[in-house]
Chain A
Amino acid sequence: MRVPWPLVHCLMLPENRDSDIAIAKKICEGLRSGGKECLGELVTAYNELFINFARRRLLKSDILEDVVQSFWEEMLNGRTICAYAHGSKNTATLQTYLIGVLHRRVIDANRKTSRYEEMHRAAENLHETPDQAPTPHHVLAGLTSNNLARRLLHQALLRLSEESPQDAILVRMYLEGLDHRQMATRVGKRVDAVKKQFTRKNTGSLAKFKSALKHLMQSEGITYEDINEK
């Protein structure tokens, strides 16, 4: 039996894993005996999460249904779930395992999209000058304050995502340079709703992010001057 990927990281918490393996064995046996309906419970439990996840990760949203559908079709042949059920080195929960499989499918789909777009872009931009290589000065700057800023940003985003993942998504878009209208387009909400959620004085996304950032800076002993270094 082909294992989709090696699950060799033995550092997962063991909670729920045994019951997950038991569930997977039951589904595996059901699929092998031709009972496709036994996958229904899994679909009910995870389909919404998988759709949400794939929608965020795919470069093109119009292939969302195809990707998730093909993922479930692959599940129907039983090999993937049986690999989890009987994998001796497997230590991940079923949820993590399945998201990992879906993640690979999303990467494959994005590669195909990128390849297709690159081919078209290459044909259109034959005469464009390439981007200038970064100077040593830029590289040095990147090693110092930019590194510190990036590290702080990443850690603050992580902290915010633990408490309020949706706010973290908005802040990431803000850091990418998107305005409220562009954020609203991306998240599929009204502009005023996004603006309100983002800029509310004490409970808005930006306020929460700044709070997390300041907390990190205080615990690390970093000042604003450190960040503003050139």
Chain B
Amino acid sequence: MDVTFLDIQTIKGKMAKTDKTTSIPILSLRGDIPAEVMAKLQAAYQASGPSSTQGCPDPETVIGYALEELIPQRRNQVYAHLSECKDCLDLVLDLRSAWAEAQEGKPEVWESAPIQVQPQSWLAGLVDGMSAWFPRLVPSPKLIPLAVALVVVAVVGLGVFRHLTAPTSGQPSFTMTKVTSGTAYNYKVCALDEADKVSPGAPHKRITNLAFLPLLLKN
């Protein structure tokens, strides 16, 4: 099927010959577009089936149009074609949308085959469940993972703190023992039972990874 380009005046001329008894009164373009006009536009869009690829420019040209790489002369030709051809229009819309999404770096709006949205993890399930049960207590579901993470960090931190400060036979489980001066650090961290065995000047084997501690202690 050849793609024909009818200009607006030609179309209006053809319309003038048709029966106008069913037409509505002339409307101003001010204000919102009337619902019946939108319905008509919607119907017209749905009535236009897939167009034949005969007469379409090659895909690279349409892609070039979408990415604004065409010279003005060619651009106008493609624009005229896109006004008629749904398939090529879809290609342009999809490509521009894909490009915009890639620029944003995250999926903002994308079109795909229908998908089933399901909780992807126990956390997503928890969020959904809490949102359903306590809609007023949970104003923003996005904050729930953050809140859960904060609670976990607090509990773990408290446990570590209590472990470090818990007395063992009346002594702290870890102590700072001065080993020798002239080593890399003035202090090394070791367990109390081993600290007793450390003799001044002897190399210490259990150097922990708490190398930042001497710097803190200096201050």
Chain A positions near chain B (C-beta within 8 angstroms)? 5, 7-9, 11-13, 48-49, 52-53, 55-62, 92-93, 95-97, 99-100, 103-104, 140, 142-155, 157-158, 161-162, 165-166, 168-170, 172-177, 185-189, 197, 210, 213-214, 217-218, 220-230
Contact = CB atoms under 8 A, between A and B. Distances in A.
B137 interface: no
A96 B48 contact: no
B162 interface: no
Contacts of B42: 174-175, 177
A153 B92 contact: no
Contacts of A227: 37, 40-41
> Chain A interface secondary structure, helix, strand, loop or mixed?
helix
A95 B109 contact: no
Given A145-B11, A172-B90, A223-B27, 12 more contacts: A5-B58, A52-B97, A52-B102, A97-B60, A144-B11, A144-B15, A148-B11, A161-B92, A176-B45, A185-B114, A185-B117, A188-B112
Nearest to A164: B100
Contact of B91 (A103, A144, A229): A103
A96 B91 CA distance: 13
Contact of B41 (A48, A175, A221): A175
Interface string B62-76: 011001011101100
A190 to B, nearest CB: 9
B99 A230 contact: no
A18 to B, nearest CB: 14
Which of B23, B36, B93 gathers the greatest number of chain A CB atoms within 10 Å? B93
Nearest to A218: B29
Contacts of A161: 92-93, 96-97
A186 B112 contact: yes
Contact of A228 (B40, B57, B99): B40
B177 interface: no
B82 A96 contact: no
B200 interface: no
A230 B84 CA distance: 19
A222 B12 CA distance: 9
B46 interface: yes
Given A53-B95, A230-B18, A152 B41 contact: yes
Contacts of A13: 69-71
B73 to A, nearest CB: 7
Given A96-B67, A158-B79, A213-B33, A146 B47 contact: yes
B89 A48 contact: no
26 contacts: A9-B64, A11-B70, A11-B71, A12-B71, A52-B101, A53-B95, A56-B98, A56-B110, A57-B94, A93-B69, A95-B67, A96-B60, A145-B40, A151-B84, A162-B96, A165-B93, A168-B96, A169-B93, A186-B112, A186-B114, A188-B107, A188-B117, A220-B8, A224-B29, A225-B25, A228-B23
